């Protein structure tokens, strides 16, 4: 079932082999996303998701194989990571930080993707598989290619520094909703964070 789970290509949607009625599948996935977003991976059960989607738990198992399979399918973020990387890396290198923060905020503010990111982050701290997925999706598919494109040494370390700032922002603004940060306009958040990300990607530490 989940043979491609560790392939590093979560966007490939490899679980189309047992489509079932696609409307039901989408309803189960939507129920799973909101359940994972509210409670995280550990505290969410197949039974709860089935109840939300108004289907039999056996159908969820049949379609997704396991809670992990359901989680992986629900968390396949429906965005084109290479296209996003290209939008960030194209253009003047002096504005790469600004473009990255802008694109990242747009993901969080997307009505479909945002809740999935919250679910991923809620699960990532208490679940090893979710943590691995967050490393792969946010780190491997976004930050690492951007840092490599910036072309300086220590690309992995730079990518992780950017990851730390962007994930911390996600936690403060979208998961815990700290005010006034949560209500600040995106442009203001970009103005504060862009120089940070710019320095992590193209600058140097202060010795």
Site residues for its own copies per CB under 8 A: 39-40, 42-43, 121-126, 131, 134-135, 139, 154, 156-157, 160-161, 163-169, 171-173, 175-176, 178-181, 184, 188, 191-196, 199-200, 205-207
In the complex, the smallest distance separating the C-beta of residue 114 from its own copies, rounded to whole angstroms, is 15
The nearer residue to its own copies, 73 or 162, going by C-beta atoms, is 162
The nearer residue to its own copies, 12 or 172, going by C-beta atoms, is 172
Residue that has been written with the tokens 């989680």 in this structure: 71
In the complex, the smallest distance separating the C-beta of residue 13 from its own copies, rounded to whole angstroms, is 25
Name the nearest CA neighbour of 35 among 123, 105, 110.
123
Find the DSSP H helices in the chain.
Answer: 22-43, 46-53, 57-64, 67-75, 81-89, 96-109, 113-124, 128-134, 144-150, 155-169, 186-202
The nearer residue to its own copies, 52 or 136, going by C-beta atoms, is 136
R_g of the chain, CA atoms, integer Å: 18
The nearer residue to its own copies, 25 or 163, going by C-beta atoms, is 163
The nearer residue to its own copies, 31 or 120, going by C-beta atoms, is 120
Name the nearest CA neighbour of 137 among 74, 46, 43.
74
In the complex, the smallest distance separating the C-beta of residue 111 from its own copies, rounded to whole angstroms, is 21
Q: Is the dihedral of CA 115, 28, 126, 13 positive or negative?
A: negative
The separation between the first and the last C-alpha atoms of the chain, rounded to the nearest angstrom, is: 50
In the complex, the smallest distance separating the C-beta of residue 94 from its own copies, rounded to whole angstroms, is 11
In the complex, the smallest distance separating the C-beta of residue 21 from its own copies, rounded to whole angstroms, is 32
């Amino acid at each position: 079932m989940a043979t491609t789970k560790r392939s590093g290509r979560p966007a490939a949607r490899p679980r189309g082999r047992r489509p079932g009625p696609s409307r039901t599948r989408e309803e189960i996935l939507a129920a799973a996303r909101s359940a994972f977003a509210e409670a995280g991976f550990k505290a969410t059960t197949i039974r709860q998701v089935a109840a939300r989607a108004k289907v039999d738990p056996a159908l969820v198992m049949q379609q997704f194989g396991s809670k992990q399979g359901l989680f992986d399918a629900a968390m396949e973020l429906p965005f084109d990571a290479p296209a996003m990387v290209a939008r960030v890396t194209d253009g003047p290198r002096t504005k790469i930080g600004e473009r990255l923060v802008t694109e990242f905020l747009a993901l969080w503010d997307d009505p479909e993707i945002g809740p999935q990111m919250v679910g991923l982050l809620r699960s990532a701290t208490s679940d090893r598989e979710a943590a691995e997925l967050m490393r792969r999706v946010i780190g491997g598919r976004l930050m690492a290619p951007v840092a490599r494109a910036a072309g300086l040494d220590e690309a992995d370390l730079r990518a992780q520094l950017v990851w730390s700032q962007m994930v911390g922002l996600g936690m403060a603004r979208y998961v815990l909703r700290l005010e006034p940060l949560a209500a600040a306009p995106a442009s203001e958040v970009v103005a504060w964070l862009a120089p940070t990300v710019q320095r992590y990607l193209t600058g140097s530490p202060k010795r």
